[in-house]
Amino acid sequence: MLRVSFSSESTAKSAVNVLTAYGYSARQSGREVVTDCPPLLAVPAMQKRVGFAQIERVDLNGPTVLDPAALGDLPAMRGSEPGRDLSA
């Protein structure tokens, strides 16, 4: 989840419109917008529409991508241990 705080409610509404136009869900609560849009798409899209000056805060509150519990019993990647030589 991505949470972005804006300088005004109308700016937040514009950001919601941009994100939903890309097909992502976006919910507004006052000056804050919460979306499931990936940050690398959301931030440039919002910057183009509303400008960076209108963004007050950006919070990334999602599960970690490389959570070891989520990986289960997959074998470790070669060279993933500290000090291990990648050329071996």
Q: What is the mean pLDDT of residues 28-53?
A: 91
Q: Is residue 78 part of a domain?
A: no
Structural domain including 44 reads 2-61
> pLDDT band at residue 1, thresholds of 50, 70 and 90?
confident
Could you tell me if residue 57 is inside a domain? yes
Q: Is residue 35 situated within a structural domain?
A: yes
Q: What pLDDT was estimated at residue 79?
A: 43
Contact 1, 58 (CB under 8 A): no
- Going from the C-alpha of 70 to that of each of 16, 46, 79, the distances in angstroms are 31, 31, 20
Q: How many domains in the chain?
A: 1
Instruction: Report pLDDT for 72.
Output: 46
Model confidence band, residue 77 (pLDDT cutoffs 50, 70, 90): very low
Residue at 67 is within a domain = no
pLDDT of residue 52: 86
Write out the H or E segment, with its range, that includes residue 59: strand 55-60
Count of other CB atoms within 10 angstroms of residue 18 = 21
